[in-house]
Structures are given as structure tokens and as C-alpha cells.
Amino acid sequence: MNRNFLYIILILIASRFIGLPPNFSPMLATAIFMPRLTNNKYLQSFIPILIILVSNFFLETVNMAIFLTMLFIFFIAPIISRVINNLLYSCLLVIFCWFIFVNGSVWIASGGNFVTTYMGAIPFDFKLLISTGLYLSLFHYSELIYNQFDSSNQKLIDRLI
């Protein structure tokens, strides 16, 4: 495996430890963007999950049901992105899935009021939407600049492996 590929993985792991506001992370955007980085469907889903699993050993513990639901969203995000093939619509659908499933598991785990749980999640999930959109924009424009200087038709991670 190429060292550059390992550097990308380490940077993404490190991004989980930077003092970013809650729900402001490049990880979901990375999961959505993965089909544009590699044709390997296994890598598309398992790289984001691996990063979350490794970095979570060092972060605050999360309820297992909530954590598994989050991993499920990170697993389906590249699939949704690959099927829809549009970053904006993929972002909106993945955030909607996050809102429904993750907050549903929060509601089940906490045993609180259904409406209160979902209403309380709106500000956090809105920040998640904004951060995911910003990171996707950064990734998209970085990809455009990269493609202007690279004549290869091979995707970036496929070249690094």
C-alpha cells in the first residue's frame, strides 16, 4: 500500500481530534465523496468506517446502538452517492438518513420524548449539513483543480494503492 494513501487515512483520523465544533467534521463528506476517489466498492464503504472505529477508541464513548447506527450511515453514504451520482442530492439524502436513523437510535437509547428528541436534534444536524456541504465543496473543487493538472483517468485512491 502506498504511503500517500496512509497519509490520507492518518489525516482523516487526526481530523476527528481537532477542536472542531460538535457535528462539524469532514468524515461524512469523505464517505459521500469516496466513489469519486476509488472504483473499489469495498474501500468506498470501509475506509470511512475504519477511520471512525480507530479514532473512536480515543474519543468519548457513545451508546452502542447509536454508534452502530452511525456506522450504518457511514456504510450507506458511499452507496447513496454512487447511485445518485450527484454530490448535492447525495449530501441531502445522507443527512436526512442521519436525521431519521441516528436520532431514532438516540430516542430509543434515551427513552425520552420522540418529538423533543427530533426537535432538539435539528440544530446539531443543521451544523452537520453545513459542514458536510462545505467539505464536499472543498473536495469537489480540489478534485477539479487536481484533474486540470493530471491527464490520467484513474481515480486518486486507485492511483495511490
Is the pLDDT assigned to residue 14 strictly greater than 90?
no
Dihedral-angle region of residue 23 (phi above 0 means left; psi in -120 to 50 means alpha; beta otherwise): left
- Residue 141, pLDDT score: 86
- Residue 158, pLDDT score: 65
Per-residue pLDDT tens over the stretch 59-91: 778 889 999 999 999 999 999 999 999 999 999
Query: Cβ-count burial of 58 within 10 angstroms (0-12 exposed, 13-18 middle, 19+ buried)?
Result: exposed
Nearest partner of 134 among 73, 88, 84, judged by Cα = 88
Collapsed DSSP state (helix, strand, coil) of residue 100: helix
- Residue 145, pLDDT score: 79
DSSP summary character for residue 36: G
Cα–Cα dist 43/23, whole Å: 24
Is the pLDDT assigned to residue 157 strictly greater than 50?
yes
Query: Cβ-count burial of 27 within 10 angstroms (0-12 exposed, 13-18 middle, 19+ buried)?
Result: buried
- Residue 40, pLDDT score: 87
- Residue 61, pLDDT score: 81
Q: What is the reported pTM?
A: 0.83
- Residue 56, pLDDT score: 80
Per-residue pLDDT tens over the stretch 105-156: 999 998 888 999 999 999 999 999 998 999 899 888 887 877 777 766 666 6
- Residue 36, pLDDT score: 86
